[in-house]
Structure 1
């Protein structure tokens, strides 16, 4: 199979280009692309546990722990003890994290717009639906089934 007609190759290539564009957009703000799904998830859900974040973002617990440690060091998130289960910590955005989410959302919007430049709204809907099907077919969770 030629790699340029392989669905996996094309998806991976597109993902790398999205990652590079995001890195260029947010690195000057002291952010990395690894922070993006964490910032967005906490912003959307409020306080969450590390386990909930790892599940929502589909990464392993040790990777999430390292990412959160760096984000805490950078002043973007803070932890507080869960009121009902003192063994758990709830993670929330700091004031600095809430400011940075604005930068992240603007970058996400601009990069997505660039990626689908020239697509009709119908083509964008079809693209999202097909990507969700691929995710589902590969055993992932496409919880964001909103158009």
Structure 2
């Protein structure tokens, strides 16, 4: 049986991820954030004062990537790090005013990226696609927990 990349969920998901990242990059760059920073910003908008370890536990990001992304975010004036009051080896991460002020616009940018890439889908098709994506991610989580 020949491999048809347009019938491969893995191949299509990779193309789709690149497209979503590119669409978010175009919109986020105007606001002052990169696509790789967006998941971290979402976590910190929901709960400030998280440690790097807590962010790693919540997001599927490699340790080195997380460290580099946080350094860039600090350089770009999006986060501040403060010593943890109970654990002197770790630091808590807080948003700057700049990052707090961009929350609504950043979330709107992400929604606009979604809408541009899912244009033409009817509501139920969009909901089904999202449900299937969540199911596939749950399968990944299950297989990761068995490894």
Q: Give TM-score scaled by structure 1 length.
A: 0.87
Q: How far is the alpha carbon of 1:20 from its aligned partner?
A: 0.8
C-alpha offsets along residues 66-122 of structure 1, whole Å, 9 cap, x if unaligned?
Answer: 110110011100011222222221101110111222331111111112222233332
Query: Which aligned runs of 4 or more in structure 1 are off by greater than 4 angstroms?
Result: none
CA RMSD between the two structures = 1.7
2:80–2:96 contact (8 Å) kept in structure 1: yes
Q: How far is the alpha carbon of 1:130 from its aligned partner?
A: 0.8
C-alpha offsets along residues 26-74 of structure 1, whole Å, 9 cap, x if unaligned?
Answer: 2123321111111111101222110111221211111101110110011
Task: Choose from 68, 77, 90 the match for 2:92.
Answer: 90
Residues 62-71 or 128-137, more deviating? 128-137
C-alpha offsets along residues 10-34 of structure 1, whole Å, 9 cap, x if unaligned?
Answer: 1110110111111111212332111
For the pair 1:104 / 2:117, whether they are aligned, the reply is no
Distance in structure 2 (CA, Å) of the matches to 1:17 and 1:140: 26
Q: Give TM-score scaled by structure 2 length.
A: 0.87
Q: How far is the alpha carbon of 1:124 from its aligned partner?
A: 2.4
Distance in structure 2 (CA, Å) of the matches to 1:66 and 1:109: 26
Larger RCO (alpha carbons 8 Å, 6+ apart):
2
How many equivalent residue pairs? 141
Give the aligned partner of residue 38 of structure 1.
40
Q: How far is the alpha carbon of 1:140 from its aligned partner?
A: 6.5
SS at match of 1:34: helix
- Please list every run of 5 or more consecutive structure 1 residues that lacks an aligned counterpart in the other structure: 142-147
Give the aligned partner of residue 78 of structure 2.
76
Give the aligned partner of residue 134 of structure 2.
132
Distance in structure 2 (CA, Å) of the matches to 1:130 and 1:63: 28
Distance in structure 2 (CA, Å) of the matches to 1:48 and 1:139: 23
For the pair 1:52 / 2:54, whether they are aligned, the reply is yes
2:31–2:106 contact (8 Å) kept in structure 1: no
